[in-house]
Every structure is written in C-alpha cells, then in structure tokens.
Amino acid sequence: SAVISQKPSRDICQRGTSLTIQCQVDSQVTMMFWYRQQPGQSLTLIATANQGSEATYESGFVIDKFPISRPNLTFSTLTVSNMSPEDSSIYLCSVEGGMTPNTGELFFGEGSRLTVL
C-alpha cells in the first residue's frame, strides 16, 4: 500500500491566478497520475508523470494549462494555470498499488478541492 499526502486540501482562488498542488508519496513509485473530478462528472485522467521525463497528457489537457513537475520518485506537483471558474474541481494524485505495473489498482490521495471565483 502507499500513503499519499496532498496539499492544499482545499483553496479558494481568484480568476486568472495559478495554484500548485503538491503530492507526496511515502514510497518510491515509477508513475504518478493526476486526475480531475468535477461535480457530477467522471474521474478523468489529466496526465501521467514519470520521474525524469515529460508528463504524458490526455486528450483535452495541455501542458500550458496544467504543467507538471516530477523531480524525484516520491513527489510531484500539478499547477492549474490562469484559472477560470470552470477549473473548480477536485484534483487527485494517485499511484499504482501493486508490484506489477499497469494493473489499474490505484491508491489515491485525499484530493485538493479548488474553487475559482
């Protein structure tokens, strides 16, 4: 299992500003995933972050809007840039739970709830 800590847990932001969410894992992991959970919507993968390489973004998400850092095997950040009210959402960090990669068994952080005014 893995323990994942996210900061901040919640924040209220002004339109046009940017916010960086931090994700710390208690063990070394190869891949870290960033998800978005909008009200009434499915959990959606934003990007996959591998240490030492550029993040891989899913369709509809771009690096300029959601820059990601992955400086080591236990830490990652997601920045939500130039925020608008449509960015109000819960952002979740996750890692794989098993020893075998790509199993789909994920551990999630508790999420960062952003409200953009």
Q: Which of these segments, 13-21, 67-75, 76-84, 90-98, binds other proteins (CB under 8 A)?
A: 90-98
Among 52, 64, 101, 117, binds other proteins (CB under 8 A): 101
Cβ contact 16:82 at 8 Å: yes
**How many Å apart are CA 67 and CA 20, to the nearest integer?**
9
**How many Å apart are CA 93 and CA 115, to the nearest integer?**
18
β-pairing, 112-116 with 19-25? Answer: unpaired
Q: Which of these segments, 11-19, 70-78, 80-88, 107-115, binds other proteins (CB under 8 A)?
A: 107-115
Q: Does 89 bind other proteins (CB under 8 A)?
A: no
Quick one: 45 or 73, whose CB is closer to other proteins?
45
In whole angstroms, the minimum distance from the beta carbon of 42 to other proteins comes to: 5
In whole angstroms, the minimum distance from the beta carbon of 16 to other proteins comes to: 28
Q: Which of these segments, 13-21, 68-76, 78-86, 96-104, binds other proteins (CB under 8 A)?
A: 96-104
Among 44, 51, 69, 88, binds other proteins (CB under 8 A): 44
Residues in CB range of 93: below 8 A, 6 or more apart:
4, 6, 21, 23, 32, 33, 34, 35, 76, 78, 108, 109
**How many Å apart are CA 50 and CA 29, to the nearest integer?**
9
